[in-house]
């Protein structure tokens, strides 16, 4: 059985308690996490209206990025896989021009169905950190810097248990980044990638 370390679960729990204060339906809320090397998304493009609408609204140029295993933040047990697409090019903010922003569409594949979520245009953002404060890991794989960021978006439905879900989700992460030719388009690894999926309706 795949498990993540208890020290990671403890830090994850503290981070979530501090970062997420939006009321959720406790019985249905999902909290999952991942730390590890980035893997390229090889899944076929979703043939759903919400994916097409998201891609058109974002930029019309949407590409697969990564797919990562996910682990329950309470038990540490494997809890599905997330498949991610991004809408590019990057956009910078006007007040904080160093910010990197784009949009993401995610398919969460769980045992009891698939859940679809996405961020709006410029809804996923990050910025490079001072390496003295957050030095990159996996430099042997090409990581040269760390981006701190995340996104906020909506639940767009799904299949099985999640077919009628609506609500919101949030993710927060440190990303080890390198040259565009390294890793997955420059993404080398994820450090404490956290997702909280908060349904408002499941009927």
- 8 A C-beta contact, residue 124 and residue 102: yes
Domains in the chain, ordered, with CATH?
6-201 (2.40.480)
pLDDT of residue 19: 42
Q: Looking at residues 121-131, what average pLDDT do you find?
A: 92
Tell whether the model's pLDDT for residue 203 goes beyond 80. Answer: no
pLDDT of residue 22: 41
pLDDT of residue 16: 42
Which pLDDT band holds residue 92 (cuts at 50, 70, 90)? low
- 8 A C-beta contact, residue 171 and residue 191: no
Q: Looking at residues 169-197, what average pLDDT do you find?
A: 97
What whole-number distance in Å separates Cα of residue 169 and Cα of residue 37? 23
What whole-number distance in Å separates Cα of residue 194 and Cα of residue 143? 20
Torsional sign, CA 118, 95, 193, 180:
positive
Instruction: Name the 3-class secondary structure at 196.
Output: strand
Which of 118, 123, 57 is closest to 90 using CA atoms? 123
pTM listed for this prediction: 0.84
Instruction: Name the 3-class secondary structure at 175.
Output: strand
For residue 11 the two structure tokens come to 């830090």
What whole-number distance in Å separates Cα of residue 65 and Cα of residue 90? 14
pLDDT tens-digit readout, 30-50: 999 999 999 999 999 999 999
């Amino acid at each position: 059985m795949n498990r993540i370390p208890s020290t990671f679960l403890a830090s994850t729990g503290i981070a979530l308690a501090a970062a997420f204060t939006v009321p959720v339906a406790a019985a249905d809320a999902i909290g999952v996490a991942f730390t590890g090397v980035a893997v390229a998304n090889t899944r076929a493009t979703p043939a759903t209206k919400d994916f097409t609408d998201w891609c058109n609204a974002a930029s019309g140029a949407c590409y697969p990025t990564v797919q990562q295993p996910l682990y329950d933040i309470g038990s540490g047990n494997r809890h599905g896989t997330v498949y991610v697409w991004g809408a590019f090019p990057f956009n910078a903010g006007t007040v904080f021009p160093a910010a990197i922003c784009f949009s993401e569409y995610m398919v969460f594949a769980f045992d009891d169905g698939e859940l679809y979520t996405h961020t709006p245009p410029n809804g996923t953002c990050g910025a490079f950190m001072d390496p003295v404060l957050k030095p990159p890991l996996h430099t042997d794989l090409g990581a040269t810097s760390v981006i701190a960021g995340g996104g906020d978006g909506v639940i767009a439905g799904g299949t099985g248990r999640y077919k009628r879900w609506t609500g919101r989700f949030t993710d927060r992460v440190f990303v080890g980044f390198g040259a565009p030719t390294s890793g997955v388009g420059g993404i080398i690894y994820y450090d404490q990638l956290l997702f909280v999926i908060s349904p408002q309706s499941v009927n």
